[in-house]
Amino acid sequence: MNTFAEPQNVSPELAKQVNQVVVDQFAQRVGNLCDLVRIQGIAWEAFDANNLTRSAEAIKALFDELDIFESVKIVTAKIGDTDKDGSPAILAHRAAKNGKPHFLLYAHHDVQPPGPEEDWNTPAFEPTLLNGRIYGRGAADDKAGVVAHLTALAALKEVAGDDFEVGVSLFIEGEEEAGSESFRNFLEDNKHELQADAIVVADSGNWTVEIPALTTTLRGVVTQPIEVRTLDHALHSGMYGGVVPDATLALIRILASLHNPDGSVAVAGLARSEGAELPYPEQALREDSGLLDGVELIGNGTILSRVWTQPSITVIGMDTKPVAVASNTMLPSASAVISMRIAPGDEPEAAAEKLRAHILENTPFGAKVTFGPHQGGRPFASDTEGWAFKVAKDALGAAFGNESVEMGIGGSIPFIAELTEVFPNAQILVTGVEDADSRAHSPNESVHLDTLKNAMVAEALMLLNANQLDRA
């Protein structure tokens, strides 16, 4: 791993200067964000792919205007071993000078589908300013990350001037919300331009709108389809019920076995730990999640360990007879899709084997179980001792006026594991502009404007501080 001289703390004078530069640009950058939100770039086959091209072209134009990169281009890569191109991404590169660190700045410009229009209080793709927040699909996840990179680089250029020597590569992905199918090929195809000492992934959030955070742990994921069969054809439930087990009953028994009585995961041998110690009372969880009054929490250990560093299992889909067309019939087969989140310390393949072994051991009545192909993403735990982490943490504290904390995320960002594989010597910093009220992936997604401004200042300070470092 590349090492650099011990970074110095951000001076109050530099923090004040950068803050003023960002404030002066802020209205323009908010306008840039609103323009991007209006472009319905969704990387799902059911949506118009031309919008992703429009989005990529708009972002390329914004970074071209900075006039700092040797090149800014729109690039695609093949999906897996196919001849099909993935969604358009933006790639830019500026070499480091005089041994300074090189940063890779990542974000994504594609967004989630909006969902039902009636679930939104404002139009999903018309950015709306309310109560200090901008509402709209992608306003937080992750077009705010794109604009944060843009503003930080503009501030770096203005403040550093001719002393701008830190290297910067830019990778704005176009298919993160659709599974990053061409991601690995993109990294391999453009490895030379993407090589970096530190990678900033601007796709996460902060502890609160006032307290910044670096995301240091992410759970991995295993998605496992399962089919259960007990009969070779459907039967009349009155003629054979009570003696012949139907597939739905067998599936229900299997799914029920996946959790202990307290709701914790019953699959043996999975990694778990207590995780970070941050204040998160039960009432806050209830409000953030919308848990109904009287419904109990599940699992054991601290609340944050349960969502960050312990495994969880959710049944995310089931195929049985729909209620609307239910008849007195015993079904010969029933299916489900199981989503299992795994903690740092586990690997998807090993965890999937443990899940399948548990299911087979708990299959009732001699029912026949078939497993579909599983998908997996590795968990992540960051290096919190390196120079880049120190630079980022100090910059966040200076920008927000509150010391940065370390937090985890219960969800998964599988591509981060691919970054660590392709660039094993790079330190990875997971940052972002979201907060508990951002509602990424949900209706009424939004970004808090003060948090967005502070995130821009923090990234600029991080790059400026790194611009002063020499290799150790």
Q: Which of 141, 142, 176, 406 is catalytic?
A: 176
2 band by pLDDT with thresholds 50, 70 and 90: low
Question: How far is residue 323's CA from residue 89's CA, in Å, rounded to a whole number?
Answer: 44
Query: Which domains are seen in the chain, by residue range?
Result: 12-218+379-466 (3.40.630.10), 220-289+296-377 (3.30.70.360)
Residue 445 dihedral angles phi and psi, to the nearest 5°: -60, 145
- 3-class SS of residue 124: coil
Q: What is the pTM of this model?
A: 0.89
Q: Which of 110, 203, 246, 406 is catalytic?
A: 110
pLDDT at 451: 97
pLDDT digits (tens, 9 = 90+) for 382-409: 889 899 999 999 999 999 999 999 999 9
For the chain, what percent of residues have pLDDT higher than 70? 100
In angstroms and rounded to an integer, the radius of gyration of the C-alpha atoms of the chain is: 24
pLDDT digits (tens, 9 = 90+) for 404-449: 999 999 988 888 989 999 999 999 999 999 998 999 999 999 999 9
**Cβ atoms < 10 Å from Cβ of 295:** 9
Q: What is the four-CA torsion angle of 235, 237, 241, 244, rounded to 10 degrees?
A: 20
Beta-bridge partner residues of 342: 220
DSSP state of 424: T
**Cβ atoms < 10 Å from Cβ of 260:** 12
Question: How far is residue 320's CA from residue 55's CA, in Å, rounded to a whole number?
Answer: 40
pLDDT digits (tens, 9 = 90+) for 116-155: 999 999 999 999 999 999 999 999 999 999 999 999 999 9
Q: What's the token pair of residue 346?
A: 């586990």
Q: Is 110 a catalytic residue?
A: yes
Question: How far is residue 316's CA from residue 223's CA, in Å, rounded to a whole number?
Answer: 9
Contact 469, 455 (CB under 8 A): no
**H/E segment holding residue 105:** strand 102-108
Angle at 381 between CA 305 and CA 300, to 5 degrees: 10
Q: Is 459 a catalytic residue?
A: no
pLDDT digits (tens, 9 = 90+) for 250-288: 999 999 999 999 999 999 999 999 877 788 999 999 988
pLDDT at 1: 59
162 band by pLDDT with thresholds 50, 70 and 90: very high
User: Is the predicted pLDDT of residue 14 greater than 70, yes or no?
Assistant: yes
pLDDT at 191: 97
Contact 431, 149 (CB under 8 A): no
